[in-house]
Structure 1
Amino acid sequence: MQSVGTSHRGKVRSENQDTIFHSDEPVGQLDNLYIVADGMGGHKAGGFASSFAVSRFVELIREIENSDPIEIMKEALQKVSSEILLKCQEEEYSGMGTTMVAATVTEESIFVMNIGDSRLYFADQDLVQVTTDHSFVEELVKAGEIDRRQMRQHPKRNLITRAIGAGIESVPDFFELPKKNGYLLLCSDGLTSMVADDEIKELLLDHSQLENKAAQLVNRANEYGGKDNISLVIVALGERGEITC
């Protein structure tokens, strides 16, 4: 199993408030760990929120003695959420928060956690969005008021309904999938708000190296305006030469 990660400021924002982490080696009791977080908040608070959340999440996972990947991530996130809420009481960090999508892979399963609108996709012959956005526009889609093509252009597309901190609900979703050869893509909305799923699929499933796939995805988002920070982690599931495309 191999992974690559990249994070780019984009073409509009003055600061990169995203944070990524990827390890193909064990982290605590987990066989591996992959994370993308997208911070929010005035001044530098958003960047602090995502960086703090990811670093503490990883530290806590290294400390937790448990064999259940979902329980490990759940316990770590609960502690991170509490610590972020305490930080939010300080004036310079008031209102800050972050999304997070995280995944770990065992011999048989893929375990996923998400909160906010950072996503995880699985790609083999097709591209499947595993996570569900915690966002205002996702609620509009569920209500039948807009379709998914309209999400990326909606004026309230950046309004999220769950996050770590930010004074809103901090309950994550968890998913367990059977492991099979293909690719995982964890990404911030700086990618998905700029690049349609069909194009993401095309770039992810081409026959280039992982580093080139990541670079092409970032470049495409920037070609379309790069209005937000663009961060992603790609995980190739299987040994070299065993990835199905």
Structure 2
Amino acid sequence: MKAFSITDIGEKRRINQDYVFCETNPIGNLPNLFIVADGMGGHKAGDYASRFCVEFFTQFIKESNITSPIALMEEAIRATNEALYTKSKQQEELEGMGTTFVVATICGKEMYVANIGDSRLYVIGKEIRQITEDHSLVQAMVKTGELNRDEARVHPNKNIITRALGVNEKAQPDFFEVELAEGDIVLMCSDGLTNMLEDEYIEKIIRENADDPKTAAETLVKTANQYGGRDNIAVIVIKV
């Protein structure tokens, strides 16, 4: 397994509120761990939220005795959400903060994924597949047939998310179990990438750099910035 992670402030923002964690070696009872978090909140609250959640979550994983990957991630997310929510109530400057959170661990041929918000996880094998589902206003409108995917991409409310860590007392993540094949590539990213580049273009860049996660990730960020870079960009590329 080879993996590479990168974040970039983009072309328009003054603060990078994206935060990543990328470790191919064991973390606690998990054989590896990958996280993308995209913070939200005024001033530096979003920056604080994403960093806090990644650091709290990884520390929880290191200290936990739970062996089931899904059960471990579920309990870690619950504790992380509770801790961030408490912080937001204790400090006025952090009120209303939150973060998206997509996390994955790969155990042999099985990948376990948890997601809350609109950061994404894709698997690129025979085709590109989006595994996670965005918890966003426009995605809800797509599901009800009010919008198609092309309309959703340019909708003025596309950045309104309906679930995040830290905004409510209880988090509502989705969990996925995905069977991987040898040679599959996993992409995790914030919406700073997917709002700039179509899935087909993302797939093209990854396939052109299939054996080099570092070049693939750096090229994705560079291209997103060339197309406007309207937001922070976070990318993790994992070659299974």
Superposed pair shares fold, TM > 0.5: yes
How far, CA to CA, are the matches of 2:123 and 2:209 in structure 1?
16
2:213 aligns with 210
Q: Within 5 A, what are the aligned runs for 1:73-222? A: 73-89=73-89, 90-167=91-168, 170-181=171-182, 182-207=184-209, 209-222=212-225
How far, CA to CA, are the matches of 2:57 and 2:47 in structure 1?
15
Give 1:211 shift.
Answer: 1.1
How far, CA to CA, are the matches of 1:154 and 1:236 in structure 2?
33
Which residue identity is paired with 2:191? D
Give 1:179 shift.
Answer: 2.2
Please state if 1:233 is matched with 2:236.
yes
Give 1:169 shift.
Answer: 6.3
Computed over aligned residues only, the root mean square deviation of the Cα atoms, in angstroms, reads 1.1
Q: Give the length in aligned residue pairs.
A: 237
Give 1:36 shift.
Answer: 0.3
2:29 aligns with 29
SS in structure 1 of the partner of residue 38 of structure 2: strand
Which residue identity is paired with 1:49? A
Kept in 2, the 8 Å contact 1:95–1:167? The answer is no
SS in structure 2 of the partner of residue 194 of structure 1: coil
Q: Cα deviation per residue 1:130-152 (whole Å; 9 max; x = unaligned)?
A: 00000000001001111111222
SS in structure 2 of the partner of residue 20 of structure 1: strand
SS in structure 2 of the partner of residue 162 of structure 1: coil
Give 1:210 shift.
Answer: 1.4
Give 1:196 shift.
Answer: 0.3
Give 1:166 shift.
Answer: 2.7
Give 1:207 shift.
Answer: 3.7
Kept in 1, the 8 Å contact 2:81–2:170? The answer is no
How far, CA to CA, are the matches of 1:207 and 1:233 in structure 2?
14
How far, CA to CA, are the matches of 2:125 and 2:108 in structure 1?
17
Q: Given the two structures, how large is their TM-score scaled by the length of structure 1?
A: 0.95
Structure 2: which 5+ runs fail to align?
none
Structure 1: which 5+ runs fail to align?
238-245
Q: Cα deviation per residue 1:71-118 (whole Å; 9 max; x = unaligned)?
A: 110011100000011111120100000000000001130100000000
SS in structure 2 of the partner of residue 165 of structure 1: coil
Please state if 1:224 is matched with 2:227.
yes
How far, CA to CA, are the matches of 1:146 and 1:236 in structure 2?
34
Residues 1:140 and 1:169: Cα distance change in structure 2 (over 3 Å): farther
1:45 aligns with 45
Which residue identity is paired with 1:170? A
Q: Cα deviation per residue 1:167-187 (whole Å; 9 max; x = unaligned)?
A: 486210000011212100000
Structure 1 range deviating more: 62-71 or 24-33: 62-71
How far, CA to CA, are the matches of 2:224 and 2:169 in structure 1?
29
Residues 1:76 and 1:14: Cα distance change in structure 2 (over 3 Å): same
How far, CA to CA, are the matches of 1:169 and 1:7 in structure 2?
28
Residues 1:59 and 1:169: Cα distance change in structure 2 (over 3 Å): closer
How far, CA to CA, are the matches of 1:200 and 1:225 in structure 2?
15
Give 1:220 shift.
Answer: 1.1
Q: Cα deviation per residue 1:195-243 (whole Å; 9 max; x = unaligned)?
A: 0000001011114521111111001111110000000101100xxxxxx
